[in-house]
Chains A and B, each alone.
Chain A
Amino acid sequence: MSMARRLLPALVAIVVVVLLGAACASDSSTSGGDVGERPVRVTTTANFITDLAEVIGGERVEVTGLLGPGVDPHLYKASAGDVAALRDADVVFYGGLDLEGRMADVLDELSDDKPTIAVSEGIPDDRKRQPTEFEGKFDPHIWFSVPLWREAVDVVEQAYVELDPDNADGYRERADAYRAELEALDAEVRETLASIPDDKRVLVTSHDAFGYFGEEYDFEVVGIQGTSTATEATTADIDRVAGVIADRGLEAVFIESTVSPQTIRAVLAAAERRGQTARIGGELFADAAGERGTPEGTYIGMVRHNVGLIAEGLAPSGSR
């Protein structure tokens, strides 16, 4: 029992520390004066959302993106600086639909303090893809359908106008201009893809990020692996996909910037045995755009890059 008495002070110490920490939850809310006299501080997750926030915000905003190029948002690891980026932001934009995994809980709690806005929130349920098994769970990869991404522009515009009404005209102007750009992009995508005949409109990729792309631009999307990155492709998956490549006579399959290319090589080998030689048509941007400062670092550049590669890989040789 003497041991119990000796450890009692330690128990008291723990209780004191807990009371100290628990009783005074952080009250360090946003500081630094009203929006209007200073730039709007914006924090975003994936880098194509950063791009969107910058384009619509123009000179009125300072955007901090948490996720760089090549980062799978589901596997994002926070750094010490991200705490301040979230705490000091006037508004946080994120993908939503579980794109950010567990971070969504944090963003949800943060919404008591400041607007945290899923850019996918304006999309009606009937335009969202729902994986068959589960009610109420939607595919988060909306950005490869340009018309759906256009909805995200409205969401961001609306948020800025509410936050900084004095400069509403500027936001509206930039949003209108960008919507026009996206419409032009959509037309360009359709024209580029028109060179691919109907029977070759099959996009084979390593992971399921292109569901909305497929629906919008009339492609059958064959993912080797499911949406979860925890499981690996089975031999049956590899066989199934190799079968599709052989049956449809596809000349190219694609890898993604955030997923390992190993599995897709196994698929190509299996297709080869079935007598169809296909090649890797290149690396598509999936869950992140490219390096900042390169053409692929913007949303528009990322879409152009992907569509260019797909057209080059799947269009019959004569039309290229």
Chain B
Amino acid sequence: MSDAMIIVLTAGLTATALALLGPFLVLRRVALMGDAVSHAVLPGIVAAFLVFQTRAPLVVILGAAAFALICVLAIEALRGTGLVASDAAIGLVFPALFALGVLGIHRYAANIHLDLDSTIYGEIAFAPFRTLDLGGVEVVRSVLIMGVVAAVNLGLITLLWKELKVTSFDPDFARSIRFSPTVVARLLLIAVAVTAVTAFESVGAILVVALLIVPAAAAYLMTDRLVAMVAIAVAIGWVSSVVGYAGAVEVDASIAGAMGLTAAVIFGIALLASPRHGLIARAVRRARTRRAVERALAEERGAQGAGA
């Protein structure tokens, strides 16, 4: 298999894992969770380094995952108090954790290169070179890891489908029929934290942040059905991966950057051209309404004139 194929598969599987969760984050108005996690993992990396004195991927991932979980659960808890809005809760938690990480580096590790780029953030271009030996068969690590994560996420949202749906749209109703929105939300966020950290390690931060939100937000504009929204989000993720890779090769640019930009362009197209919620459809609908009103007014005036 060619390097190109491996890169596209890695991106596509990462997009799948993220786009399965993204729609629920968009609907719950916590879409910035991915950004939050991307910064909040820093203290985990510092702690892992201080304890184990190594930057080995597994240790780094475990440290990062611990703080990713702390981050998402703290945001949810803060939201749960009802005193802080969603966006503010995100904005309060991750800078605090990032700051803790910066202090940790400054205090304990100022003289070594310990930062997010040199530890947790992977680079999708290098995916083909990173292989594992599984019983004599050479497998590409990122494809295996992201495939497993995507499958687990698929299983999770399948099992919790009804609960996720009800708690995303109407948490109060969910409570009244004894679904705990808190438990469902926590499970979703734990999946987000674990997915984000493994994806950072495989493909880097920018791609994760982009593919978590952008396909879901575009899909949101294109359908009113939740199943369709998730499916469209996954499809947009794959299209972004394939088109983005081709674009990156064409101009010899960053692969993750090109894929993220492609996703943004797709969102732009959805924003303009979505059949029901797009800007163009809306303008057409408004023009039609205006004409109908004008016609009705003109008829009324005509009727009055004839009566006089």
Contacts and interface: CB of A to CB of B under 8 A. Distances in A.
A142 to B, nearest CB: 15
A4 B157 CA distance: 9
A80 B253 contact: yes
A102 B3 contact: no
A135 B139 CA distance: 33
A86 B111 contact: no
A110 interface: yes
A133 B144 contact: no
B128 A14 contact: no
Contacts, number: 180
B9 interface: yes
Interface stretch (A41-49, A143-151, A227-235, A277-285): A227-235
B111 A227 contact: yes
Contact of A74 (B1, B3, B115, B128): B115
Contact of B143 (A18, A101, A232): A18
A26 B7 CA distance: 11
Interface in A1-30: 3-4, 6-7, 10-11, 14-15, 17-18, 20-28
Nearest to B12: A17
Nearest to A101: B118
Interface in A220-253: 226-232, 234
Contacts of B117: 74-75, 101-102
Interface string B245-265: 100110011110110000000
Given A134-B53, A228-B112, A228-B115, A80 B252 contact: yes
A208 B112 CA distance: 10
Interface stretch (B71-79, B148-156, B290-298): B148-156
Contacts of B109: 133-134, 228
Interface residues of A, number: 54
Interface stretch (B21-29, B130-138, B209-217, B271-279): B130-138
B137 A102 contact: no
B137 A23 contact: yes
B187 interface: no
A185 interface: no
B304 interface: no
Given A14-B16, A21-B10, A83-B125, A106 B255 contact: no
Nearest to B46: A230
A27 B113 CA distance: 33
Interface in A76-113: 77-84, 86-87, 98, 101-103, 105-106, 109-110
